[in-house]
Every structure is written in structure tokens, then in C-alpha cells.
Structure 1
């Protein structure tokens, strides 16, 4: 019997999904610095060469995992506000986002614990803010927001920047770090900005 590894018959898309899932688990478990590319390849069922062909280094892989997490998070937020009016959507999105960061091991590690991740994602921070702002503004417009586009965009950008600030510097009082507290805060201060 040959010592060669059997060639994977998975499609490139399936391999990439497996790599991103394995990397997300690895980053959530041990953080960016201690994450091991060989462990990711093994968990994904791909060779090292396949992994490095798709993601030449850990930073590129971490960035891809962050983008994937962003997309999944946005889809969850959009689903959470379906059928709500604009102000209710702001409140529910804020509370859902707080819950996601508090309960998803990868998001928690990326947002609250792992300063290595911030170093990698800082390079796309402005682009991230613009992408999230555009997407949330479009979602609120679909929910019925009637304010002028420029005002809606400014209000949403302020919301996004506030969320980032809260995530980077969470409340020290555990009672203020719950989804219910996030919902109350959004209801009191953020929702009135949207009409």
C-alpha cells in the first residue's frame, strides 16, 4: 500500500467551506496567535498544499474567516428584523448582535478576547464600517424608514461606530452586558434616531 494520501474529490467550494469551518473552530478554540495551519488542514480534510494554495498565510485565512463570520452575522441580523418597522428593527438588531457576540465562541473570541484579530482586521476597519452601514441602511429602508438617504446613512454609521465601541470596550457591569440591556439601550437612545 502506498503512503500517498488519497486525492480529495470535494469541489473547490466544498474544500473552501471545510477550511473556513475548521479555521473558525481553531481560531475560536485557541485564538489567532496559537492557531495552527496544520491543524486546520487536518480538520478540513485537505492537504497543506491545498490550504496554502487557497490561503497563503494565517493572516489571509483569519481575514477570510472574519468576512465569513460577518456575512453569516448579517444574514442572522436581517432575519431577526424581518417584518419589523424601522425603529423596532434597530432595537432587535442591536439585541441580536449583542447575543451573537455573547454566545458565539468565534465572535466572542474575535470581538472581545483576541487582540491579534483586531490587528489583522484593523486594516479593513473603515471598509467594514462602510459595508455594514450600507447594508443596515438598506435593511432599515426596506423596513420602512422614510428619512432622507444621507440622514439615514449618517444615523446608521453612528450606530455602527457605537456598536464597535461597545464591543471593544464592554460594560464592566454584567447586568449591562446582556441582550435585554442592549435592547433597552437601543430602544431608549438609538431607535429614536430613525424615522
Structure 2
């Protein structure tokens, strides 16, 4: 996911639909992202949307969450080579770009799916995909924290704190139409990371 998960005009039809679904979910939530609305948002034929996703909305939502999760993981993998602070800054910059460029209309599609109420006694595939995305981000952060000197037992908890704090700050920034919450969280998280690894990282 680059600055925005909006579909690229020249993208292949299936990819364009998945990207469009991720963008629409990030703006309106899962309930408002019907197959028809996704096709319209992605500028894709409705028939093609049903063709690629014959199982319907849950299949499309699951693919959209996996797409968004993998895109963020890719950014983290590239930047975490330079250390956990660099990874944190890239993580924050990604979401800052999406929130600001959408005029506070878009956030994280993974979080948007996570807060939807699931059917009783059932874990929808999209919700399971969201859990996997969060776990992957946490794992990547925990690995680099340990590599750079953080206590092995503390690293997973700190990684979970980073993901949870950033996701919460994205929601707060959208609600307040200000990047101040994300800026405040960024400052505190960076200090925590530096303390955890025993110096600049």
C-alpha cells in the first residue's frame, strides 16, 4: 500500500478491485463496502467483481485486508533493516500520508474490519485476516527490537504496544482532523524504543 490504497487506473481488473475494496473499507468501514459499491469505487464492471469474487463480500474483504496487511509488512521489512526507529518512522509516515492525503477520510482498512461486530459464534475470514496482519506487523517489529538489543521477553509486548498505539492514534487523528495525536504517540514510542535497545537505534 503506497500513500493511498486507491486503485491505480491501469491496474489489472482483479488487483484494481482488491485495492479499491481496501480503500473503500478504510473510508467507510466494512458494512458500507458492498460488492456494488466496491465495483463503483474501483471503476470496475460489477460482473467482473462477481466473477473474481464468487463467494461475495467476505471473500473480497478478506483479500482487501490481506492486500493492505502485506503492503504495510513490505514497508516495515524494507525500513526495519535500518533499525526499529527507522521502521517506526516509516510505519508512521505511511499512515500519515494516507490520512492527510484523504483529508482525514481514510484510515487503516485492517482496523476498520477489526472493529466490525462479527456474527455470533463465528470468526469471519476477513477478521481472521486482520488478526494475521496485526500479528505479522508485531512479529516484524519484535524481531528487529531483539536484533538491536531489546530484552527478548519484552520485545513482543513493545511491538504490540507500537501497533496498538499507532492504530489508535490514526483513529484519534481522523476524529480530531489533526495529526497531533499521531505526532504525540510517535514521540513517546520513539523514546520507548531508544530506552529498550539501550540507545539510538
TM range (shorter): 0.5 to 0.7
| Distance verdict in 2 for CA 1:18–1:128, change over 3 Å | closer
Q: 1:139 to 1:71 in 2, by over 3 A?
A: farther
Cα RMSD (Å)? 3.8
User: What is the rounded CA distance, in whole Å, between the counterparts of 2:16 and 2:144 in structure 1?
Assistant: 30
Partner of 1:96: 93
- Higher normalized helix content (fraction of residues): 1
Deviations 1:121-155 (A, max 9, x none): 655555444322112223445xx412343332232
Pair member with larger Rg? 1
Partner Cα separation in structure 2 for residue 165 and residue 189 of structure 1 = 17
Structure 1 segment 8-19 matched on structure 2, within 5 A: 14-19=12-17
- Equivalences for residues 1-195 of structure 1 within 5 A: 14-27=12-25, 31-41=29-39, 43-45=43-45, 47-53=48-54, 56-82=55-81, 84-86=82-84, 88-89=85-86, 91-93=88-90, 95-103=92-100, 105=102, 107-108=106-107, 110=109, 118-119=115-116, 126-141=131-146, 144-170=147-173, 172=176, 174=178, 176-178=180-182, 180-195=183-198
Segments of 5+ residues of structure 1 without an aligned counterpart are: 1-13
How far apart are residue 109 of structure 1 and its match?
Answer: 6.3
The TM-score normalised by the length of structure 2 is 0.62
Instruction: Report the CA distance shift for 1:149/1:100 in structure 2 as closer, same or farther (over 3 A).
Output: farther
Higher relative contact order (CA 8 A, sep 6+): 1
Shift of 1:68: 0.8
- Residues 85-105 of structure 1: CA deviation (Å, up to 9, x unaligned): 34x335424532541452364
Q: 5+ residue gaps in structure 2?
A: 1-11, 119-125
Partner of 1:4: none
Q: TM-score, normalized by length of structure 1? A: 0.63
Report the equivalent of 1:8. none
Q: In the alignment, is the contact (CA less than 8 A) between 2:68 and 2:110 conserved in 1?
A: no
The number of residue pairs the alignment matches comes to: 174
